[in-house]
Amino acid sequence: MSPAIGIDDLAFATGSFRIDLAVLAARLGADPEKYYRGLGQSEMSVVAEDEDIVTMGAAAAQQILDRSGGAGVRTLMFATETGIDQSKAAGVYAHRLLGLGPNVRVVELKQACYSATAAMQFAVALVARDPSEKVLVIASDIARYQLDSAAEPTQGAGAVAFTVAANPALLELHPANGVYTDDVMDFWRPNHSTTAIVDGKSSITAYLDAVAGAFDDYLAHGGVPFEQIDRFCYHQPFTKMAVKAHRHLAARAGSELDPAALQAQIEPTMGYNRRIGNSYTASVYLALLALLDGDEDLTGKRVAIASYGSGAVAEFLTGTVADGYRAGLRRAENEERLTGRTPVDDAAYLALQRTAARPDPSNFETARQTPSPFRFGGVRQDQRVYEPTA
């Protein structure tokens, strides 16, 4: 009999700084409630000058390796939509920082905010072939938009790392899944730009259509009906998007649950994303982690993962929360990681944002700011420099 396969460990990291959205509201001439209630966001993470997707991703993965070591890890997949090189995988830098051995395959995956779920599914296939192996998945992104734009309050930064293994300690993934792809220009980042281009209205429509299409495909491929799923984790570019998506999906499925009951199915997933902001590929797994870290005993519950990436690709799948899952959580440490971020005012935040758009990206050094275990030292003759902080 084949063993269960799923997520065995899950950790996150984020930027060292945070800014309350009321601070942005003051500069943008908006009522803070527009962001607190309208977007469902309270603050967002901001990266230090010497932090990027590699340092955050490695910091998340280090927590997993500190606990269980690297035994059995023969594959590292790095999912990101804010890649740092057109050729070399960001995961290769993380591989060195983490001290993994040479006999590990490393690859980077890209499709907007969706690609961590693709990495997870590819990992399941590798573990099914050899259950003695583990796959380390890192999803790390920094969401940046034009300053003074309507999208600026939906920025953020964060990373998750998780291992996919046989007999998982957190979540057993089910075989049924649904997928959906459509060529939509709702959100993209051209090679010449450090910030994304967003068509806000069409992006919301594309998100809803893609998640609904993936759910329909999930049902057509052996998935259970909506009413048999206990909790739902959605990609959250802002947390109110999860509310829109869940109501849309419930209506499509003919659910008779009232609005309060529908909200109860998703509210526990929003805590981390509400405080971190948009983390692109990491977002739906931060939703899962917030759910697992919550007060409710989820043992044996069926949890859905609704993953979306603009452009657009979506996937819908479910898993069962494992017995004893709470022993594998880092609830107190996760809260400390969020409360330990340094608050910045608007002037400091703007300085960090402008520093990120360097006039000469080929050669520069970064200021030492991060308390993270790893730092980005800058670029020397077009070569990125990473090092431990200690």
Active site residue ranges = 81, 113, 235
User: How many of the other CB atoms lie within 10 Å of CB of 277?
Assistant: 31
Residue 245 near residue 253, CB atoms below 8 Å: no
Residue type, 259: P
Residue type, 105: R
C-alpha distances in angstroms, 384 versus 6, 46, 86, 355? 34, 21, 13, 16
Residue type, 345: D
First to last CA, the chain: 47
Least Cα distance to 384 among 361, 360, 368 occurs for 361
Q: In what order do the strands lie in the sheet with 374-380?
A: 364-365, 374-380, 383-388
H-helix or E-strand containing 63? Answer: helix 53-68
C-alpha distances in angstroms, 107 versus 88, 132, 231? 9, 20, 31
SS3 8: strand
C-alpha distances in angstroms, 224 versus 60, 176, 178, 254, 319? 33, 9, 11, 14, 11
User: How many of the other CB atoms lie within 10 Å of CB of 106?
Assistant: 18
Q: In what order do the strands lie in the sheet with 43-46?
A: 43-46, 17-20, 342-343
Chain CA centroid to CA 88, Å: 21
- Spatial distance between the Cα atoms of 60 and 278, rounded to a whole number of angstroms: 17
